Amino acid sequence: MLRSHPSQYLVLTLGDSREATSVISKTLNPEWNQRFDLPVTGIESVLLEAICWDKDRFGKDYMGEFDIALEDIFKNGQTSQEVLSWDRI
């Protein structure tokens, strides 16, 4: 059951690397403003996966997920700065 104010966090996966954000409590519109250095090591690192969880005293509840295809960011060997500005995940 989803409470009116979840305590959300993201688990980010890129290839074999995994990081988790801090928990943001009592909001339906969390802003983590965190940065992670995840290595792009090859073809297995072309998809950034993000899963959102609601943390509570009994464990965690799945809230949703999304993927970002990194090959869409790189064009002609250059990166697009507009797309790379993900400070507000």
Residue range 8-34: average pLDDT? Answer: 92
Beta bridge partners of 8: 24, 54
Q: What is the pLDDT of residues 36-45, one digit of tens each?
A: 988 887 766 7
| Predicted pLDDT of residue 38 | 86
For the chain, list the domains and their CATH numbers.
8-84 (2.60.40.150)
Contacts (Cβ under 8 Å, ≥6 apart) of 53? 8, 9, 10, 11, 60, 61, 62, 63
| Predicted pLDDT of residue 66 | 93
Higher pLDDT, 63 or 28: 63
CB atoms within 10 A of CB 30: 19
| Predicted pLDDT of residue 79 | 55
